[in-house]
Structure 1
Amino acid sequence: MATWNLSGNYAETCSCSVPCPCNFLNAPTEEDCTAWAAWHIEEGEFDGTPLGGLNVALALNSPGHMLETKWRVAMYVDDRAGEAQREALQQIFGGEAGGLFGELKGFIGEVAGVRSAAIEFRNAGGGRHFSIEGAGSADIEPVAGEGGQAVRIDNAPLSLSPGQPLTVGKAAAVSLSDHGITLGKAGLNAFFAPFSYTSG
């Protein structure tokens, strides 16, 4: 199996209330959970192929408790990636190369689509913004806690950034419509955090 590592920043929003109960291994707020996530890779490589500076996004629908159902997912890979980079990112985020996504792969019941797209990911006023050409976008604001400081969750049982505190946010604006996966209600759950992944 390939040796790889990635680090950078990620953000997500979903159809659950704040904070998302799925991260605590509970049932979603509604009957299902639709999540929209994006990653900006600052540093990384896959068997010597450099991956720094590239972006990836995933759309996901779980028709019930995330640990008791099969997910429907769509993947978007930065259209600036070369062929080797694109294949590497598809293997990593598709779970074929082990690591965190290898652990999650068993929950995927259907891959609705995989395609290249222009992906923007940036810090925005203390929150995060990401957009995926032809699929949608999200504007995320941090939730203010005591003293106006951002609320964070440490050591969540289910997290896309293991080992890192999740900053709790909410979607100021969100749109997602692709492959039958849709999300469009503002004010619901969001998280963002740095990430560090390895092949294990």
Structure 2
Amino acid sequence: MTWSLKGTYFESCNCNVACPCLFLSPPTEGECNALVGWHIEKGDDESVDLSGLNVALAVHSPGHMATTQWNVAVYIDERATEAQNASLMKIFGGQGGGHPARLATHIGKILGVKSVPIDYSINGGNHALKIPDIADVEITQMAGQGDGPVTISGHPLCIAPGFAATAAKSDKLVYNDHGMAWDLSEKTGVFSPFAYQSEQ
């Protein structure tokens, strides 16, 4: 079973900037609500091409993210064929091994899985993701020294190991599904490349 994915990911949550969960500290609001999105630039699972597809997770952690099991809603790109959908579910569900399997150990309950249109866009330091009637998220890179990016590397709670994360701030984080309703702005965002693969 050999697969690999690479592309860009971003996340935004309800924590104040910068999110303490990245450093295994408690969330600033006592709980964490996050929307995570991946755009697969190039990917394959055996003979199944996964390039160009998007995946998103809505995550609710009722306490410390490192020690509390997460409630997760899964959204798969509606353009995926049956075979592509099965591959994405296997990989992001943790059954394919690699780093997604480590992330999956934090999941306590899957609230649901939906095949939906996912619009993932990148414009310089701006990342956005939209799922009609469910999610509308936009983050903008923070300005650091000399107006350069603010980066975080080596953080222990990491979606994309091996890459420095660029710190951002949310312009909006709107989500409404599975009984959860968020409408936030000026909160944490981060983005970076990602590269996952099956363990050899």
User: Shorter-chain TM-score category?
Assistant: over 0.9
Secondary structure class of the residue paired with 2:79:
coil
**Equivalent-residue separation in structure 2 for 1:7 and 1:109 (angstroms):** 26
Cα distance in 2, alignment partners of residues 156 and 54 from structure 1: 27
Q: What is the TM-score normalised by the length of structure 2?
A: 0.96
The reply to whether residue 177 of structure 1 matches residue 143 of structure 2 is no
* Unaligned segments of structure 1, at least 5 residues: none
1:36 is aligned to 2:35: yes
| Cα RMSD, aligned residues only | 1.0
Report whether the alignment pairs 1:68 with 2:61.
no
Mapping 1:83-162, distance limit 5 Å: 83-162=82-161
* Cα displacement string for residues 87-145 of structure 1 (whole angstroms, at most 9, x for unaligned residues): 11011111111111211222211100001000011113421011112311111101101
Give the fraction of aligned pairs with identical amino acids, expressed as a percent.
43
Query: Could you tell me the TM-score, scaled by structure 1's length?
Result: 0.96
Would the alpha carbon gap of residues 181 and 98 (structure 1) be closer, same or farther in structure 2, given more than 3 Å must change?
Answer: farther
Aligned residue pairs total 199
Deviations 1:58-79 (A, max 9, x none): 0000000012211000110000
Matched, 1:79 2:74: no
Question: Partner letter of residue 157 of structure 1?
Answer: P
Q: Deviations over 1:22-61 (max 9, x none)?
A: 1101110011001101111000101220000100000000
> d(CA) in 2 for partners of 1:180 and 1:161?
29
Q: Which region of structure 1 is more displaced relative to structure 2, 44-53 or 99-108?
A: 99-108
Distance in 2 of aligned mates of 1:8 and 1:162? 13
4+ residue runs over 4 A deviation: none
Does the aligned pair in 1 maintain the 2:66–2:157 contact within 8 Å? no
Q: Is the 8 A contact 1:175 1:184 kept in 2?
A: yes
